[in-house]
């Protein structure tokens, strides 16, 4: 693990928001892009914390404290990055959520922040959103993109149900699927050929560059 990542992990586990933000500022002196920060520091740190929890090297309470501290850093960084964005009257829209019973939403927040910083209008619904509630929200707001996150293998049965329902909405949004499982496995059998599978943040950034804000989204798969 990189030295700065080690320091960041320690700050998160200690719940030290001031120290965690100081490390983020140090990191950005060398790499100022959100992509590098999210992929190389935050994502790697949260993976290490997940490993420590899975191997019983930290307690559940420590894992929750680290996640809460990371959420604070993400929100604070996002507010700094978006405060000077000049918003257009008409912006493409994207909504993000974890499918039912999924609780891991850090990656979802990173994704929502990147869309927002690219000029999109976003709504972040977070963890464990039931399909019926999602369909009601999507019918009302009519987003161009609906982003789903999935990390646990036994939730795959829900993924296929969500994708099928969402791609049949009248205004035909593009369904984007990300999360740890997409990086590790081929999930094409659980989606349609219209579904956009995003393996990592760098692939997401490339997609955003090719589908710039202000242009009606019409994804070709």
* CATH code of the domain covering residue 77: 1.10.1240.10
Among 26-30, 173-177, 178-182, the minimum mean pLDDT is found in 26-30
**75 and 107: one domain?**
no
Confidence of residue 185 (pLDDT cuts 50, 70, 90): very high
**21 and 116: one domain?**
no
214 Rama sector, left if φ>0, alpha if ψ -120 to 50, beta otherwise: left
**122 and 60: one domain?**
no
Nearest to 144 by CA among 90, 188, 108: 90
Distances (CA, A) of 53 to 56, 65, 68, 83, 107: 5, 12, 15, 35, 18
Q: Which residues pair with 176 in a beta bridge?
A: 147, 196
**141 and 104: one domain?**
yes
Pairing of the two strands 93-98 and 145-149: parallel
| Domain end point (choices 51, 82, 113) | 82
**39 and 104: one domain?**
no
**186 and 107: one domain?**
yes
Report the pLDDT value the prediction gives residue 103, as an integer from 0 to 100: 86
Among 83-87, 109-113, 185-189, the minimum mean pLDDT is found in 83-87
Report the pLDDT value the prediction gives residue 84, as an integer from 0 to 100: 53
Sign of the four-CA dihedral 99, 221, 114, 29: positive
The pair of three-digit structure tokens given for residue 45, joined into one six-digit string: 């740190």
Report the pLDDT value the prediction gives residue 117, as an integer from 0 to 100: 82
**142 and 106: one domain?**
yes
Residue 221 lies in a domain: no
| Domain end point (choices 82, 113, 134) | 82
Domain that holds residue 63: 3-82
Confidence of residue 113 (pLDDT cuts 50, 70, 90): confident
Report the pLDDT value the prediction gives residue 221, as an integer from 0 to 100: 39
- Give the C-alpha separation, 108 to 128, whole Å: 12
- Give the C-alpha separation, 90 to 209, whole Å: 18
User: Mean pLDDT score of the chain, rounded to an integer?
Assistant: 86
User: For 170-180, what is the mean pLDDT?
Assistant: 93
**127 and 77: one domain?**
no
**97 and 189: one domain?**
yes
Domain count, the chain: 2
| Domain end point (choices 46, 62, 82) | 82
Share of the chain above pLDDT 70, in %: 90
> 118-134, pLDDT tens digit by residue?
889 899 898 899 999 99
Residue 40 lies in a domain: yes
Identify the residue with better confidence: 57 or 68: 57
Confidence of residue 215 (pLDDT cuts 50, 70, 90): very low
Neighbours of 129 (CB within 10 A): 20
**116 and 176: one domain?**
yes
Report the pLDDT value the prediction gives residue 80, as an integer from 0 to 100: 73
Kindly tell me if the per-residue pLDDT of 218 is higher than 90: no
Residue 220 lies in a domain: no
């Amino acid at each position: 693990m990189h030295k700065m990542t080690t320091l960041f992990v320690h700050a998160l586990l200690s719940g030290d928001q001031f120290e965690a933000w100081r490390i983020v500022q140090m990191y950005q002196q060398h790499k100022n892009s959100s992509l590098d920060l999210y992929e190389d520091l935050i994502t790697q740190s949260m993976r290490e914390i997940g490993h420590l929890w899975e191997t019983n090297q930290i307690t559940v309470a420590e894992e929750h404290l680290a996640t809460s501290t990371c959420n604070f850093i993400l929100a604070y960084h996002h507010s700094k990055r978006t405060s000077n964005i000049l918003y257009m009257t008409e912006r493409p829209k994207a909504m993000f959520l974890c499918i039912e019973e999924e609780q891991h939403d850090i990656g979802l927040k990173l994704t929502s922040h990147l869309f927002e910083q690219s000029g999109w209008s976003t709504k972040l619904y977070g963890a464990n959103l039931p399909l019926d509630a999602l369909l009601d929200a999507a019918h009302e707001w009519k987003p161009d993109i609906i982003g789903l996150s999935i990390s646990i293998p036994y939730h795959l049965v829900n993924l296929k149900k969500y994708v099928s329902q969402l791609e049949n909405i009248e205004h035909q949004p593009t369904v984007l699927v990300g999360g740890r499982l997409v990086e590790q496995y081929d999930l094409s059998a659980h989606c349609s050929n219209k579904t956009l599978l995003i393996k990592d943040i760098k692939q997401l950034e490339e997609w955003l560059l090719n589908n710039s804000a202000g242009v009606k989204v019409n994804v070709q798969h």
